[in-house]
Amino acid sequence: MTISHNYPSSATIHRETLPNGITVLVYERSGSQSVMIEGYLPAGALAETAAQSGLANYTAVSLMRGSQNHSFDDIYEKLEAVGAELSFSSGYHLTSLSAQCLAEDADLVLNLLADVVRQPVFPEPLLNQLKGQIITGLQMRANDTQHMASRTLRELIYPNHPYGRSQNGSLQTVPTLSVADVKQFHANHYGPQGMVICFVGALTPAQAVAKVNAVLGDWHNDAQQPMPALPELMLPDDRLQRHHPMPDKYQSDIALGRPGPPRNAPDYLAASLMNTVLGVFGMMGRIGKNVREAQGLAYYAYSSLQGGLGPGAWLAAAGVAPDKVEQATNSILDEIARIQNERVPVEELADSQAYRIGSLPVGLETNSGIANVITDMELYDWGLDYLLEYPDLVRAITSDQVQAAAQKYLSTEHLGIAVAGPEI
């Protein structure tokens, strides 16, 4: 295992905020020839109306379709000529950027990045083509039982809330989005305030900061609006159940869960370790062991905790034969009750702790993995020494804390249960 003092920390991560509000993070790896650039700006689906669902995503993926200085073909020819990559994506709170190149091509990539973020032209023929691709993707997902179970669950547990809507929009909203909508969203929400860019690889802090300053340091948008606050969320006060009929399918997918803690909650790590025990470690945790291995009910069975800037979902999911839905659902609920009512044995907890601590260095083997963690440290305000502290934080979590997190964030009665598949 990597020795912890080799982890990126406040001693080795350079952090600097430019006068216009852009925060630059740099972790130099002199042995690397490449540079990974990860970042984000506060422009996400929270700023959409329900009728405009999918607009933030449509805007983000349209950026690369051309700028005032570069056509769509020109952008991709320049990137492909040097084997570089540049892409944008959007979520509820943020638009994310990602780029990878050799150090010698960093100027080229940053010039393109800055150009498409600051001066996109959103050519209508290319955006119409892109809209068609998004609609095709939505149609394909509408035919996927696993996706539709998850989508139905979100609608159940996040009623009248942005988290209940798909970040990619719907087949009702996306066809109505216009180029004018995209231009307005860009004008209102893209700007330097709150933007973060992280460099990992063969650039010194001085080089990276100078390069960002050169292409983005003079960027200002006086019209830039902050993301709206998350509306108050009402937790389920009953067992909410819905079946999404897909009569031509042979498998049913189950998704059950409820809103969980945000990533900056004081007990998030305890809740996350609880979920590792319940549905991740080994062969998908206790849920996998019971539902999949012991009973042979499911093709897959696991749980996840999707905490972010807001109360992301705790979700348990399984793919089963249609006549096994009730038995598999009850077995998952049994495991929820068990982790709420019984302390996790010391040995089982220690195994999950060792797994979490041991998987950390694996994620830090690549420039991309390091950049992802450093941007998370900035986003969730964990501090630049989080990686040094993480092993001790995980080891310090007790069975009592795991049980308390299960009692606080899980429920067998106040949750959503969604099934997608044929009627039995």
Is 70 exceeded by the pLDDT of residue 4?
A: no
Tokens of 303: 């749980």
The pTM of the full predicted model, rounded to 2 decimals, is 0.93
Instruction: Please say whether the beta carbons of 267 and 261 come within 8 A.
Output: yes
Instruction: Give tens-digit pLDDT for 23-64.
Output: 999 999 988 899 999 999 999 999 999 999 999 999 999 999
Is 60 exceeded by the pLDDT of residue 3?
A: no
> H/E element holding 421?
strand 415-421
Neighbours of 268 (CB within 10 A): 18
Instruction: Give tens-digit pLDDT for 61-95.
Output: 999 999 999 999 999 999 999 999 999 999 999 99
Closest CA to 98 of 375, 334, 326, 293: 375
| pLDDT value of residue 30 | 86
Percentage of the chain exceeding pLDDT 90? 94
Tokens 């948008």 appear where?
221
Give me the phi and psi of 240, to 5 degrees please: -95, 125
Write the DSSP assignment of 58-102 as a string of letters.
HHHHHGGGBBSS-BHHHHHHHHHHTT-EEEEEE-SS-EEEEEEEE
Instruction: Please say whether the beta carbons of 154 and 162 come within 8 A.
Output: no
Q: Are strands 23-28 and 239-245 parallel, antiparallel or unpaired?
A: unpaired
d(C-alpha 403, C-alpha 343), whole Å: 6
Amino acid found at 253: D
Residues 6+ positions from 60 with CB-CB distance below 8 Å: 43, 88, 89, 90, 95, 96
Instruction: Give tens-digit pLDDT for 236-251.
Output: 999 999 999 999 999 9
State the chain's mean pLDDT as an integer. Answer: 95
Instruction: Please say whether the beta carbons of 200 and 370 come within 8 A.
Output: yes
Across residues 204-215, what is the average pLDDT?
98
CA distances from 136 to 56, 128, 154, 221 (A): 18, 12, 21, 34
Closest CA to 300 of 241, 251, 245, 258: 251
| pLDDT value of residue 179 | 97
Is 50 exceeded by the pLDDT of residue 397?
A: yes
Tokens of 307: 């905490």
Tokens of 164: 């209940």
Is 60 exceeded by the pLDDT of residue 5?
A: no
Tokens 């929270």 appear where?
46
Instruction: Give tens-digit pLDDT for 155-200.
Output: 999 998 999 999 999 999 999 999 999 999 999 999 999 999 999 9
Q: How confident is the model at residue 6 (pLDDT cuts 50, 70, 90)?
A: confident
Least reliable range by pLDDT among 358-362, 369-373, 401-405: 358-362
| pLDDT value of residue 140 | 96
Across residues 380-391, what is the average pLDDT?
96
| pLDDT value of residue 28 | 97
Three-state DSSP class for residue 190: coil
Instruction: Give tens-digit pLDDT for 278-327.
Output: 999 888 899 999 999 999 999 999 999 988 999 999 999 999 999 999 99
Across residues 207-231, what is the average pLDDT?
96
d(C-alpha 371, C-alpha 377), whole Å: 10
d(C-alpha 175, C-alpha 50), whole Å: 14
Across residues 6-14, what is the average pLDDT?
95
Write the DSSP assignment of 298-323 as a string of letters.
EEEEEEEE--SSS-PEEEEEEEE-GG
> H/E element holding 200?
strand 196-201
Instruction: Please say whether the beta carbons of 35 and 200 come within 8 A.
Output: yes
Is 60 exceeded by the pLDDT of residue 368?
A: yes
d(C-alpha 216, C-alpha 210), whole Å: 10
d(C-alpha 89, C-alpha 92), whole Å: 11
Question: Helix and strand tally (H, E) in the chain?
Answer: 14, 11
Q: How confident is the model at residue 2 (pLDDT cuts 50, 70, 90)?
A: very low
Is 50 exceeded by the pLDDT of residue 219?
A: yes
Instruction: Please say whether the beta carbons of 274 and 405 come within 8 A.
Output: yes
Q: Are strands 239-245 and 415-421 parallel, antiparallel or unpaired?
A: parallel
